[in-house]
Structure formats: structure tokens, C-alpha cells
Amino acid sequence: MFDSLGDRLGGVFKRLRAKGRLTEADVNEMLGEIRTALLEADVNIGVVRNVVERIRVQAIGTKVAEALDPGQQIIKIVNAELVAMLGGETLKIAYASQPPTVVLMAGLQGSGKTTSAAKLAAWFKAQGRNPMLVGADLQRPAAVEQLKVLGAQINVPVFSAPGDPVATAAAGLAEAKRIGRDVLIVDTAGRLAIDAEMMQQVSDISAAVKPDYTFLVVDAMTGQDAVTVAKAFDETLSISAVILSKLDGDARGGAALSVKEVIGKPIAFAATGEKMDAFEQFHPDRMASRILGMGDVLTLIEQAEKVFEKEQAEAAAAKMFEGEFTLDDFLDQLQQIKKMGSLTNVMGMLPGVTKEMKNAQISDDMLTVTEAIIRSMTTEERRKPEIINGSRRTRIAKGSGTQVSDVNKLVKQFSEMQKMMKRMGGMAGKGGKKGGPMAGIPADLAAALGSRPGSR
């Protein structure tokens, strides 16, 4: 994996700490790191150049306040700039007064058009609409078949007819009117932006169905070419918005920034998983953190939301603060965490996790070992680990197939965590309503959460 911007700038600023203000050379070195971070995230080089220039202007004016970490200051500037670039105008769907509202899907082969079309249909359905899908991809074998299967899964009718894609799309529109569906989503074949014949075909489809919205599906893993593709499709079809697909992978997704900057159209949706409901409206602030490799607390929360029992987690957090968190509770939480995927993945989403920690080679077997040790304890030992003496330790180690020293470490760490939690709980308590529940959370974590617009 690549270094996050935080790691990169951290290196530069260690040397600058002693200095009071940034010289031009310092700024240049720092901008170089920002440039590399953006390029490694696949932001288009032309776009990178513009961003770096804008940041230069802001950075030169920045004095290094003594109390503040200049690295953090700069990251804040970069982050704000990216959020501004990715955000701006959002897409509001205005439904056609004469239904159906027609949506045309376009993109390269394999970008995820068919899946996104079905997900979009499911989304419209959730908005209380009656969508219909049209399979006008007659190129790829079984593309229409795929759409039909997906349509059946989400309970949305799918229309298609063999022969000419343009005629199929037009017939689909007529069919939607006939059976009274109010949203029509037309899936088209994937095509290369430089294939004039195929671009003409999609343009003909567009002329035949007169879409209210044309969505360009862009793979989050796309590299420098995203710009060329977006430009070509926008020139041919006049794109209304972009759907970013495969965002559940570990790609930084700089393509989002490139496309937004080059065609100036909003990114409306992000596809974030294999299931039909893994489709959501796009969040510029999350994307900015992701591009910078700064961790993605909100995605983490969402993932956690899916696996954790809400009441259970709240109870666990409350217990932690009161210092009543037992090894049993810990074991419970461990089970939940395991459902979220590998530990390394979860760690990657946490802000403020240093590179050393990420590189520390933690394997998921560690969780299993930890679990084994706890499971070898009696109920009483789990409630009051301080009663664990020498002979108990030996027994636990034997029972879990570990060394006595491992048991020691676990008990020691656990009691330290308990103390820390209690301290944080105290702080949160003192902060009261005013400080909110955030008061006890480590500074950069709170900052990451606090940077959410209009704390909902």
C-alpha cells in the first residue's frame, strides 16, 4: 500500500518543527509530497497540477503557529480543497412532468453499468417510484440475461428485444408508457471512448429516448485515463452526473476527483458492494479523506452498523467509561469485529493510525489466540482478571495452548485499557452536555468526526 498524505507530510515536518515559519523551499518540498500522494491515488496529472497550485497559494500565507502541528494545518487545507472540488452542486432528481423520467447509463466495458442500472432501479424503488429497466446491451453475451436476473431479484420489470439497440431502447420507452412505469433506466453496451461507431450508436439511443438524465459509470480503480473517457462521453452525450462503481475496494479513487474537475458534473452515487442495496449517494468529504489515505471513519461506522447490535455496542461503550468492561464484554466485541473483515482492513479505516502500526503485521490469528486465552478463563476470572495468580495463569496458558507470558500480557493490557477508558469516561462526564460525547475521544478522531458538515 501507498503511504497516506499524513505519513508523507509527517516526514517533512519533523525536520521543520524547530523552524518558526515555512520558507519557500519548505513549501515546495511539501507540495511535492502532496503531488505524489495525489498521483498515487490516481488523480489525473493535469488535475494534480491545478490542485497543487491552489494549495501553494494558500500554504504560503500560512504561518506555522507554535501550538499547532504544521502538517495537520496543511492537511486541513488540502482536505478542504478536495472536499470543495468534489462537492459543490449536488444532483437533485427532478422527475419528468410527463412520465417516465428516462435515465441513460453509459460507460466503458466492465465499469459496472448493468449492476449499477439495477442498483439505481432499486434506489428509485426505495424512493417510492416505479422503475423499469431496458436492456439495450445487445453486444456482450448474456448482458440482457444478467439484467433480467437482477431485475427479478429487486422486483423491477425488465424489457428487451433482440436486434437493434436503438430500436430496443425506443420500444422500451413505449412499453414503460404503456404499462405506466414512471422511471425508465436504459442499460447500454460498454464501449471505448475512441470507438466512433459505438459512440454514434449510444448517441442514437440517446436521441431515441431523450433521457432526462445520463449517468456515466466510472470504475473507482480507473487510472489516468478517466479524464479522457469522461471528456469523450460528456462531449457525445452531455453527462448529467457520474456513478462511481466498485468503491468497496481499496482503490484510493482519485478518478472521482479527475472526472469531477474535468467535466464539472456532480458525482451522484457510489456503488459500495456486491449486494443490490450497496448503493448510496456520494459523500465528497469521505472521498477526500479516502484519496488522501486519511482513513474513513464514517465508512467504518457504517460497516460497524451492519454487524454490531446497536444496543449491545452502546451498552459496551457505557460500560467502558464506567470501568465495568469485563473480559466477557471484550470477547463479545471481538466477535463483532471479526465480522467486519480483517483487522488490517479495519485499521486502515482508522484515522491517526501510524504507519508503524499498519506495518506491524497483525494477523487475524492474533484475534483467535486472544479469544482462546479468554475462553480458557473461568467466569470469575473474566469478571475480575486481578484474581488470576500463578497457578491460574499456568492453567489458562495450557488450556489455550499459549505461553504464560502471553496470558500475562493480555491481562496487563486489558487492565491498562480499562484504566484509560475510565479516564476518558471521566473526561466525557465532566465535559457534560457542552462537550458532548466527543470529548473523550482522541483528538484526531474527534477532528475527523467533527469535520462532518452540520453535525447531523
Nearer to another protein, 96 or 343 (CB): 343
**Dihedral of alpha carbons 350, 352, 355, 356, sign:** negative
Smallest gap, in angstroms, from Cβ of residue 19 to another protein?
27
404 binds another protein (CB under 8 A): no
Smallest gap, in angstroms, from Cβ of residue 360 to another protein?
5
148 binds another protein (CB under 8 A): yes
The Cα–Cα gap between 422 and 446 comes to 18
Which residue is it, cell 457534560? 432
The Cα–Cα gap between 90 and 280 comes to 13
The answer to whether 322 touches 426, Cβ cutoff 8 Å, is no
Using CB under 8 A, which of 142, 174, 207, 387 touches another protein? Answer: 142
Q: Which positions from 229 through 268 interact with another protein, judged by CB under 8 A?
A: 229, 232, 246, 248-252, 254-255
- Which part of the chain contacts another protein (CB under 8 A), choosing from 14-22, 32-40, 73-81, 172-180? 32-40
Q: Which positions from 350 through 369 interact with another protein, judged by CB under 8 A?
A: 350, 357, 360-363, 366-367, 369
Using CB under 8 A, which of 275, 375, 384, 430 touches another protein? Answer: 275
- Which part of the chain contacts another protein (CB under 8 A), choosing from 15-23, 89-97, 204-212, 334-342? 334-342
The answer to whether 158 touches 133, Cβ cutoff 8 Å, is yes
Q: Which positions from 174 through 213 interact with another protein, judged by CB under 8 A?
A: 192-195
377 binds another protein (CB under 8 A): no
130 binds another protein (CB under 8 A): no
444 binds another protein (CB under 8 A): no
CA distances from 288 to 5, 39, 146, 254, 283 (A): 11, 14, 33, 9, 9
167 binds another protein (CB under 8 A): no
Phi-psi region of 321 (alpha: psi -120 to 50; beta: other; left: phi over 0): alpha
- Which part of the chain contacts another protein (CB under 8 A), choosing from 68-76, 92-100, 159-167, 380-388? 159-167
Using CB under 8 A, which of 413, 419, 430, 443 touches another protein? Answer: 413
The Cα–Cα gap between 39 and 223 comes to 9
95 binds another protein (CB under 8 A): no
**Dihedral of alpha carbons 300, 306, 311, 315, sign:** negative
Smallest gap, in angstroms, from Cβ of residue 369 to another protein?
6
Q: Which strands sit side by side in the sheet containing 131-136, from one edge to the other?
A: 158-159, 131-136, 183-188, 101-107, 213-219, 241-245, 267-271, 279-281
68 binds another protein (CB under 8 A): no
